[in-house]
Chains A and B, each alone.
Chain A
């Protein structure tokens, strides 16, 4: 097992190296430059030349790349040209917000997706099953930002049930030692802050969790359908075990293997969905930060932010693979 983990960790080096090349050159391929963003109408040719000199944009691209690579290797992500804050500081402030949202979205997707997929399989061929297939197709097809806007419009703007923006009411003053608001509220036993944080989390989590919900539902359905026709399930039933015991011990447990894989993959993808969801709900996480950086052509933030998100994505997938190897020993020997 240790060998497997070490091998996977070593594989991270070329992956991150490749990512650094892609990120660096992709950012430079974007139309516009940080200079035109910074100067706007003031972008006279003289000023543009001065700024290019200052930001080292006159140097050959490969030199710029190696300079950047050296900085990244020292965990120096640089300073934002727009906010003048260190990127590591911004990540520290914003990453917990994105994590909290992603975890809530995942809980929503698993909490609803697994039971729904299970019951759809149990009602195979019936109206409930067809409806589930149809609705999960819609769930996958609706863009996250569109669903986010619709949810916000109905439940916040029209009905006024839930807040429209942010992570917490700005009227609440509470300490955030971990920057995970739910955890902070629980640790400090501030139940009002907990309620407030949950209210702010509901709509973004539903919007972000909608696609994973649809996928988990479909995979669960397929896995349960597959497993429930296995010989050992028939044997269990023939032994006279209670149906609920058969479902729990023999069907669900065995169906969980593909489901856990897909959940792991979705966990990584939630990070990309967060860009749109966070923008719609003004959620102060990594996603909205990156979106603003792209609009501002804030090179250091785009590069540093994407590298960080990519690193998280790769690490999440590594954890999924390791957990998968733990669940299924055949993996680590293949």
Chain B
């Protein structure tokens, strides 16, 4: 009975397929449209109010900041500002703006427009001061002109003044190393003041603790200066952007890009295999062999911008002693883990910064797998072989930097056992307990954790891990030399000096060994072979500007 039903359905499907084949004309022709799949819808198309990668992937096609990143790197290059200068120990920044740039609605981009954006952020009140609305603004600038929420710090921003139509001077209350690099990220791009006013960009409400934009700007009228402009957004189905033919720079080759949300990674892969889409982001590591072995598909690797590491908690137990920490570092077969469990999408990490980020240096102390040396170090320490350690790992989770934590743990623990340690394994579900235990420092002597960068600044990595609060809780150490170096690097406004300070800090960290970085994962995108020049940036974005199909 079911067989008959199936035959009938097959017949219907066959008829439908004939129509489809006749109608579509196959998928190998050149096209001026690119269909790209992400995991979900954007939150808003006003990036100042967003903090998620799915939003930024869309908005970065439409908006530009005063400065940007060179495609595929974390190198800061001119965008809407052609040059800049800092003075007064990084408290005064002068930007010379690009001439002849217009927003998509025809509004001229000039110093008034640039200051309107800075002032918009600074003057936010009410619900806009909630972190669910302005997470990144608060992370970089601290507070607002009039802080209405307890716990907010005084604002880093002091003023923005137009000196002629194409020159602005931004004054800060104190020197900050993070102000300038943060200008590349989407929450600080330039938006049309005319469109924002017209379509209620600053209308929002806070309901049950969650911010919600109520104007139509963030949904229907996003207006930037970028190579693509907004066409439509059907929630749950697609965001459509089209080429900005008045773009000031190199115009996009594609006439339109459609970004479709497909939450399931296998669903994205199958949609690509069926050529329903041309490319997709967030390919699952286990799907890489499938993509690579398909003659019409390819893998595009995103430069690593994350780190998986083993926390070493020094608070109590054997890890207080440097020799034991060094023994643990030599005793972990990190190369084996990366080669076995990252499916060709990982690199062994030798420090806490990813190689694509400035401040990374090859001059750090390295700890190649060496069980003999590990045992020697242990025997010369107070924790002789077998040295007992508690090692925690998370269950029920896969992170971009750590696709398979359980196997990572098993392999690392096995190599430690061969290196003179006696490992007691402990596990906890990622939600709700594991991350909390790691952060409060109650997850053993060693535990697996990691980080994906939010923006291209070393402080987002090492500043997050080793500020005095986190260092004390998660890592159980207080090292004033490291804290001072971190603070100096963070506040240094001179870029070259800042890079040197972070390199120095990385060298110091890998000597002191507060943890053991073991992998930088290179997330992958899947694409049809006929898709060219699709550039994946380390910070999570995708450049469609130079892409072609066919």
Contacts and interface: CB of A to CB of B under 8 A. Distances in A.
B126 interface: no
A10 B232 CA distance: 44
A25 interface: no
A136 B208 contact: no
A188 interface: no
B87 interface: no
A206 B151 CA distance: 55
A270 to B, nearest CB: 17
Contacts of A78: 207-208, 210
The DSSP consensus for interface residues of chain B is mixed
A86 B212 contact: yes
A184 interface: no
B357 to A, nearest CB: 17
B267 interface: yes
B270 A45 contact: no
A43 B439 contact: yes
Contacts of B2: 116, 132, 135-136, 138-139, 213-214
A156 interface: yes
A36 B44 CA distance: 22
A161 interface: yes
A43 B20 contact: no
A157 B236 contact: no
A159 B435 contact: no
Contact of A120 (B1, B35, B209): B1
A31 B16 contact: no
A279 interface: yes
Contacts of A217: 1
B33 A171 contact: yes
Given A45-B440, A56-B208, A162-B16, A112 B5 contact: yes
Interface string A208-241: 0000011001000000000000000000000000
Contacts of B17: 159-162
B258 A81 contact: no
Contact of A116 (B1, B40, B449): B1
A291 B435 CA distance: 23
A310 to B, nearest CB: 21
B492 interface: no
Contacts of B40: 292
Contacts of A264: none
A194 B414 CA distance: 59
A102 interface: no
Given A33-B431, A45-B440, A84-B212, 18 more contacts: A32-B431, A56-B209, A84-B211, A90-B235, A120-B1, A132-B2, A159-B17, A161-B16, A161-B20, A163-B274, A164-B271, A165-B267, A168-B237, A199-B19, A202-B12, A214-B2, A284-B261, A291-B263
B273 interface: yes
Given A83-B43, A213-B5, A157 B274 contact: yes
Nearest to B16: A199
Among A37, A163, A166, A176, the one with the most B-chain Cβ atoms within 10 Å of its Cβ is A166
A167 B9 contact: no
B343 to A, nearest CB: 21
B35 A79 contact: no
Interface residue range, chain B: 35 or more
B13 A162 contact: yes
A54 B209 CA distance: 5
A131 interface: yes
B20 A162 contact: yes
Question: 10 smallest A-B Cβ distances: which pairs?
Answer: A284-B236, A132-B1, A161-B17, A135-B2, A32-B431, A55-B209, A54-B209, A282-B262, A32-B432, A170-B238
Given A93-B236, A161-B20, A153 B270 contact: yes
Contact of A166 (B8, B237, B432): B237
A170 B435 contact: no
Contacts of B236: 93-94, 97, 284, 289
B13 A155 contact: yes
Interface of B: 1-5, 8-9, 12-14, 16-17, 19-20, 23, 33, 35, 40-41, 43-44, 130, 132, 151, 207-213, 232, 234-238, 240, 258, 260-264, 267, 270-271, 273-276, 429, 431-432, 435-436, 439-440, 449-451, 469-470, 473
Interface residues of A, number: 80
B310 to A, nearest CB: 15
A132 B1 CA distance: 4
Interface of A: 31-33, 36-37, 40-41, 43-45, 48, 50-51, 54-56, 71, 78-86, 90, 93-94, 97, 112, 116, 119-120, 128, 131-132, 135-136, 138-139, 152-153, 155-157, 159-168, 170-171, 173, 176, 192, 195, 198-199, 202, 206, 213-214, 217, 279-282, 284, 288-289, 291-292, 297, 300
A192 B23 CA distance: 9
Contacts of A54: 130, 209
Contacts of A51: 209
User: Which of A90, A116, A136, A155 neighbours the largest number of chain B CB atoms within 10 Å of its CB?
Assistant: A155
A282 B261 contact: yes
Contact of B5 (A32, A83, A116): A116
Contacts of B449: 41
Listed residue (B4, B236, B238, B271) with the most chain A CB atoms within 10 angstroms of its CB: B236
Nearest to A288: B263
Given A84-B213, A132-B2, A161-B13, A279 B264 contact: yes
Given A131-B3, A282-B261, A79 B274 contact: no
Given A45-B439, A164-B270, A280-B267, A170 B260 contact: yes
27 contacts: A31-B431, A31-B432, A41-B450, A44-B473, A45-B436, A45-B439, A54-B130, A71-B208, A79-B208, A80-B210, A81-B210, A84-B210, A84-B211, A112-B5, A112-B8, A132-B2, A135-B1, A139-B2, A161-B14, A163-B274, A164-B271, A198-B16, A202-B9, A202-B12, A282-B264, A282-B271, A291-B263
A56 B267 CA distance: 37
A38 to B, nearest CB: 8
B13 A282 contact: no
Contacts of A119: 1
